[in-house]
Structure 1
Amino acid sequence: MSQPVYRYYAGASRTSRSRSAAWSALRWSGSLAVALYLSWLALFPYPSLSGAAADWLGGPIHRALGFAAYIIPLVLISALWRTFKEGRAAGGVIMAAASLASLISGAGVLAVSTHPFGVSPASWGGMLGSWLGEGLATALGGFGAFIACAAVFLLTLQVVLGLRLSVAAAWIAAVAADDFQKWRRSRQELATRMAGAPKGDDAVKDAAPAPAPAPEPVNVIAEKAPSGKGKRQPSRDGGPMPAASKRPGKYALPPLDLLKAPSGAGNTGKPQESEIKSAILALEQTFEDFKIEARVTGYAPGPVITRYEVTPAPGVKVSAFTALEKDIARALKAKGIRIIAPIPGKDAVGIEIPNARPALVVLREVLEGPALPPDAPLLSFAVGLSASGEPLSADLQKMPHLLVAGATNSGKSVFIHSLILSILYRARPDEVKFLLIDPKRLELTFYEGIPHLFDPIVPAEKVTVVTNPKEAASSLSNLVKIMESRYQRFQLYGVRNIDGYNKEADKR
């Protein structure tokens, strides 16, 4: 009678073990899924990537902890790994408390690091970090608050990761010692090579190839045009030459005939007289339809747009014209217009209307014009043509900033190329250098091989357009050091800019 009972309990034991294994697998899968999603929310708290949970969970976490929220994936993955490795919950309450303390103390470290002399609510540590950092900074000072938060963070992180600081320090010391030994060996190898290398002028002769014969210097003659257009004297090969530097040199500036010439007189883009009269009638009729007393008192036709000057009657508000922008565009059958209300320096409102047949504005037209005279600064560049068709230029040294931004197809690339070419046509390589960075390899690789290229981490004969982002960061970092060194020289010689420094160098 005992045998069936034994079989019954044995079957029950096997069923219990299978259920336990299934439950364990389900629990692990669920825990892993929750940990991965919480880590994703901590890393990417954006609704476009994380859904609605980013608003009610990811966003509050980042507002509370700031950049310390990025520690959450490390804490969760470490807890899961230790639980899987040890076969049970690693520490339970202690693990949870240490995890929370590491997050808050990490936020405090970031908050105090951001504002060591006074914690700001907009610190990197979020609201909790700002609260903790402000309290500790009041009691211990900025440096004391940083030490306290850093100590708690390292101790609690040690508990979370299950590591010992002594082991981590020993590993870091071993890596540093290995790197130091490699550095010493490389220095010794370099010293050995340098000892066997030729010295003085012989080394230069052996290392450098025979220089190619330099082109004959081109004498540039600037002639004042009686018509006021200010075109330069053509060179011997038929093309007009840009203004040469005052310092003589063997480098020949490129002739302007390499650039596309402006269109003929029959394609200036300016509207005909009948088109202008028709536009004036349409404007005044639109003003009359909307009960606005105003009349067109002037116009300035240009290659791309024509600006009409409108003088309002006394008592008419300028805002009345801006409100009619779409109605004016409809009346003139234009794709879009621009209203300047008012025109600076005039008692009038400007209305710019695109021409029906816009002309192509080319760089050569501006470089040949009076906007860039021979004595213009080397960092001057061609901007384009004004609304009235006059060439315009600007000086980089006088710009409030050097940022170029805009929507797609708004002309950023054209502007960059105009700026670079304007300087290349007027400055020798010993006067202006370019560090060109183009990670996308789309725009600036055309300038590969020009003698004006410069890279502080690459020998002069090997300089190219930088396309590697890591190399770009290193080049820019070294360029900042060169800039700081120049500022120190400016202070030493008592000058304020590079022009003053060059003049002082000529005197010495």
Structure 2
Amino acid sequence: MRRRQDPPKTEVQPEPAVEPSPARQDGLALTLVGAAIIVALREWFQLSGALGSVIHHVTAGPVGLLSVLVPIVLVFFAVRLFRDSTRGANRSLVIGTVLLILAITGILHIVLGAQSPLESIESVEAAGGIVGWLVGGGLSYLLSPWGAVPILVLLAIYAILYGSSTSIRQILDRYSAAQPTERREPLGERLRRRRREAIEAEDEPYEEPYEIEEAPDLPAPIATPKRRSKPAPASPSTAVIDPPEAPEPTADTEPESPTVFEQPELSPSLAYELPDMGMLAAGAPHKERSEVNDSVVATLTNLFEEFAVDAQVTGFSRGPTVTQYEVELGPGTKVEKITQLSKNIAYAVASADVRILSPIPGKQAIGIEIPNADRETVVLGDVLRSSVANKQTHPLVVGLGKSVQGNYVVANLSRMPHLLVAGATGSGKSSFINSMITSILMRATPDQVRLILVDPKRVELTGYAGIPHLITPIITNPKKAAEALEWVVEEMDRRYDDLAAFGHRHVDQFNEAVHAGHIQPLPGSEREIKPYPYLVVVVDELADLMLVAPRDVESSIQRITQLARAAGIHLVLATQRPSVDVVTGLIKANVPSRLAFSTSSLADSRVILDQPGAEKLIGQGDALFMPSGASKPIRVQGAWVGESEVEKVVDYVKTKMTPEYREDVTVKAESKKQVDDDIGDDLDILLQAAELVVSTDFGSTSMLQRKLRIGFAKAGRMMDLLESRDIVGPSEGSKAREVLVKPEQLPEVLAMLRGEEPPGGAYESAIDEEPVDGTQVLPAAREAEEYWDEDDDDSEDAWQLTGR
């Protein structure tokens, strides 16, 4: 096959690593131990036989005074050979040791002023040896001793860094993490600065909901000729996604005096100090390249040659879990030739979890993601101490983990604004929930963020009981959880009432005006206006809620996800059963951000991401993150936080402040009116059926099927319940049942079905005059009116009701 002509360049193909046999490895190690013993007897204890002088000249002649360290170096390398048999594991250490010996012996020769070996070999052996004479003497002749010593010192530093596989940037990052400048800032000033910068950041109309740390410039991983590629619109290490700005709600009515209610807000005068980042452990340094990567590159190159595919591996990006190898195609080569080789690639690299990304976003290359044989653990402490996290001052910034390129990734919940998390058991979903909550505890005070934690499984979130950020105790009863979601809807409506009454479009603008003293209670109101904190609702298992009250939960989630962004309310839904009956179409349509961990099937991946990919993840925190507005997900390794670290943070925040719970969050589940047992969970449908039958004066089962969109069995049961309560008459065959209740008696009938006291004359007075206090007299009737408008072309949806 004819290949495209490239400029002549030196082509260096990596050779597959050939490992020595174990017997040769052990023999070489034992030889080094024996040599170390012989040299130690002569140089340390002056115990030697006839060969003593020969041994001394052999060791002290080349390295001079460093001969006393030769036994230690030999034993060290012998231990390395016993523990690690791979050549690549010792190559960098050997090179670093040789460079260090060259630097030290050269310095010794210059400092001690040794003579030439031709003049006095004893003088040379008492200084830096022949090696020191060659290195130090040569540099002194060329640069003078004043210029040679600094060069040799720099060479020694480089030898230490090279031998330990450590970069100067890593050392600086560790020092910055241990000495954060933010700690030296006074607490009050730091809180005011964070609040001010977070409010200013909300004014930007477009910003990505997540950020990836920019990678440093690295040398080319493979010395092969690169093909020309189109310039990328953005930095390859940082993906920028601009989500469309959601329309903000406005009010259709004139501002009224707000109802007096208690806001979920702590007093800002209370002292609270954020936990120290030292409570979170640090992880191991990131590996940028290993011998395994070079071996995989050679394997892929040979594979392309065997199948006659005009393609080259031009580079790779090593992440903590997988490595993404970049493949560029020759002219006239189809992308399908690479994707069709997925099984052959998996066979060649001995891994079943191979994922092909065609193309890599922003690059003219195909990405082949292959799991690392030596996985790295990404710890939450490193993510929160990274530069990309320190740049973000918003209290809702959480640490996600590391990308395939090895860069830290953080996400802002306020930009998402809601998140769906799903994955099979053991895939890392619960670990992400713990990392997210811990991130909020580390970065936000209780007056900035309040939490509602729903844990039907009773095991995942119980460790956070008693933290001051909670607005109610951890909810474990699914029925109470459904009522808590209804309370969140009411809280959202109250916040929008305030925003409309005082002329603001976002809760951040409202809080800024409150802090500045620009908002005062309306005349005649006794309410004390306070800033609103962000409210984050975390549901650890959505499937349990959908089993108990699917209609109520789905309706509440739909309203929250559609309207709650500007009110500062954000929802995080997690489930390990991502089926269509749990993650319904309405929930998916209104939760734009998704985080998919490993799934058991392709169908589950399509439910979460609307595309395949999650079924090929390898588990243990490996995830695909699709933020709002993105067309393709990014692969990240989720951050891990240990139980001991969570306990430290939780114990710390408990000592700083006690929680102030709201008693009305789940009170409905306890003080709900007595409903007859035969009604069960069908009260809402029964109310709509009674309203429909009485208002139309037509008792037909088929009408209930059509209008309420329920099955025949459910419609027949609703009609039987209405008959047992003397609302309709008995069945008359194919004829419609007789309606025994007049429309004027409808409020009393609805109150009876709810288990409430009849309203008496409230209905007659309500139809003659407008309500004064702004309350809705007939909430059930209003729902029926919305239903009747549903078949109209001019019906109003949730966005139109807010004036958008």
TM-score by length of 2: 0.32
- Greater per-residue helix proportion: 1
* Bigger RCO (CA 8 Å, 6+ sep): 2
Length-normalised TM-score, structure 1: 0.49
